[in-house]
Amino acid sequence: MTDWRRQRTARDARIAAGRAHADGKVVAAADVVDLLEAVLRPGDRVCLEGDNQKQADCLARGLSACDPDKVHGLHMVQSGIVLPEHLDVFETGIAKRLDYSYSGPQGARIAKMLYGGQIELGAVHTYLELFARYFIDLTPNVALIAGVSADRAGNLYTGPNTEDTPTVVEATAFKNGVVIAQVNQIVETVPRVDIPGDRIDFVVEADTPFYVEPLFTRDPAAVTETQILMAMMAIKGIYAEYGIRRLNHGIGFGTAAIELLLPTYGERLGLKGRIATNWALNPHPTLIPAIEAGWVEQVHCFGSEVGMDRYIAARPDIFFTGADGSLRSNRAFCQTAGLYACDLFIGSTLQIDLMGHSSTVTTNRVAGFGGAPNMGSDPHGRRHPSDTWMKAGREAQQTGDPALMRGRKLVVQLVETFGDGLVPAFVEHLDALELARTIGLELAPVMVYADDVTHIVTEEGIANLLLCRNADEREQAIRGVAGYTEVGRGRDKAKVEHLRARGIVRRPEDLGIEPLDADRSLLAAKSIKDLVHTSGGLYEPPARFRNW
Amino acid sequence: METMTFRHTTKGPLAGTKPQAITGVVASGNLEVLLERVLPPDQCTIEIATPVVGYGDVWEAVAADFVARAQPGGLRIAINDGGARPDTVSLRLLQGARLMETGR
């Protein structure tokens, strides 16, 4: 007779083994290694919560300290490879296979380990894609997650950085998996229940509060005049023209400049209430001036940002907050919002090729892309119109029945033609292709594919790729904004001028932008200190940004 | 240190009467531009002093594009470069020309 409960039986055995090291559900930090060795089985699929920001670092240290004779061959399925321990486990044989999304700070080491064969790589996913696979073919056997506090029944308060936790727990707890949470403290009653206790099997009181990376703080003092000029072009040439109200911004200085120009330059253009009102965005400190000036209607967040908690709690009309008053973020929902409910994604990249493919992967760094490939793509499942989406659709429509026209999401690459150390952003061939050949990746790590990109904005101008009618026009439009890079200087000047006459390439002067206005005095905040002041003292920047 | 000078002919004089302007600062990644209205109305010279050697062809292209765009006839322009990127040079030159035109 078929046994339909093998997974459930195995789960019960794991939990029984773990209980030997617990008082009810509660486990002391000193007993983490024993707990993990009792619960884990060789070859398990394990999600060690490493999000974009929040890190289950106590459990990561515990896992890397396990005896490789007892715990080995794990298949790690987690969105972020951020801490050294996330890769240490591959050096000792505790883990073998990896499926992930983002590895910013560990990008160079991961490339080395892939090349050395220490990691069997599944794929580098977008967040939403990895979350989706948690429910289909990458369901974790064990999830190691992080929260702020829990009660003895396991009810979990994640704090403002809820991020991936509900998704990870959903996939694990309801499919016979074991969920172990680390928390900063065990309390009598949690401020709010983000995860109900019957989905949490063990709670570890961590030795130190979990680590959070301040990933979205951009110091206005470092914004350059070139970035201000580009932000002016984006606001006047794209946001105003398409009437973009629902949007997502990347994390670079260019988009920070746009945020800081809304209450000044945007105000001068009479755009308040007409653009940038509804956001899928982490709580960027540089959005504070626009919020305070009444530009922003609401913001849904992937995660929180260090120092923003008090400000957010004081602005519940703008942010999503719980009954306790603090932010409730959710990466899966916010990524879905960015995909289906936003009309524009704008972000930066390290390399763009002649067709408009872009990547942040270079030959010695496999950084992963996080959410950008998802938000920076045109969702073919979208079925609701908006003026912005339809206008972009009309520009892209070349042939066919107008009654069957669909809209287009605007996907804008905001790039300076030269990056740090005069490295050109425009290239003939992406380094990502070379890397894929070197380490034998079946799929080249492209962040945003050319057919999803609609505009490229550089300090030289805007290229509207929707209006290009063939590959040659597209290449010349890209060369036409590539400045003094080799790619830019290789342009056919006559063709670029022809594209300019058709409005496919537009210069600052074509948009009526005065170069003298590209001045730091246009920034609504010129320093972190200004942001603190504008927030009424509610924003509390981390120490490394307190430079006054 | 490398120095170079580019001479251009323009269609006519730059608008405005302001005799002299200075913009920018000599700092790392930045540059200082001094503009003086001292040449015949259809002439423009751009003198560059830069610590970064070997980018003569890029400077030449930046200067030529600037002259084509701004038609800065009558100006002698001196650049004190601190290793600025070409886009920064271009922006600063345009800002300098606008200062001379508008008298701001």
Residue A178 has, within 13 A of its CA and on its CB side, a CA count of 26
Q: Quick check: B94 contacting A, CB < 8 Å? A: yes
pTM of the shown model: 0.95
Handedness of CA A69, A73, A75, A79 (dihedral sign): positive
The secondary structure of A311-372 as a DSSP string is: HHHT-TTTB-B-TTSSB---HHHHHHHHHHT-SEEEE--SEE-TTS-EES-BTTB--B-TTH
Q: N- to C-terminal Cα distance for chain A?
A: 73
Structural domains for chain B:
2-102 (3.30.230)
Report d(CA A420, CA A332) in Å as an integer: 33
Q: Is-contact A278 A319, C-beta < 8 A?
A: no
Are A417 and B87 inside 8 Å of each other by CB?
yes
The secondary element (H helix, E strand) that includes residue A499 is helix A493-501
Residue whose entry in the numeric block shows the structure tokens 């109900």: A196
Are B87 and A459 inside 8 Å of each other by CB?
yes
Are A515 and B62 inside 8 Å of each other by CB?
no
Mean pLDDT of B12-31: 92
Nearest CB to A518 within list B85, B86, B91: B91
- Which residue, A394, A420, A419, A398, is CA-closest to A407? A394
This complex has an ipTM of 0.88
Are A459 and B61 inside 8 Å of each other by CB?
no
Burial of A313 (0-12, 13-18, 19+ CB in 10 A): middle
Report d(CA A408, CA A395) in Å as an integer: 9
Quote the tokens at residue A517: 């206005």
Report d(CA A80, CA A102) in Å as an integer: 5
Report the greatest alpha carbon distance in chain B: 36
Residue B104 pLDDT exceeds 80:
no
- What is the pLDDT, as a whole number, of residue B103? 83
- What is the pLDDT, as a whole number, of residue A440? 84
Contacts of A476 (CB under 8 A, 6+ apart): A491, A492, A495, A496, A499
- Contacts A520 to B, Cβ<8 Å: none
- Contacts B102 to A, Cβ<8 Å: 516
Averages of pLDDT over each 10 residues, chain A, 548 residues: 95 98 97 98 97 93 98 97 96 97 89 90 94 98 98 98 97 98 98 98 95 91 95 98 97 96 98 98 98 98 97 98 97 98 96 95 81 95 97 89 93 94 92 88 92 97 97 98 96 98 97 92 97 98 85
Handedness of CA A199, A204, A206, A211 (dihedral sign): negative
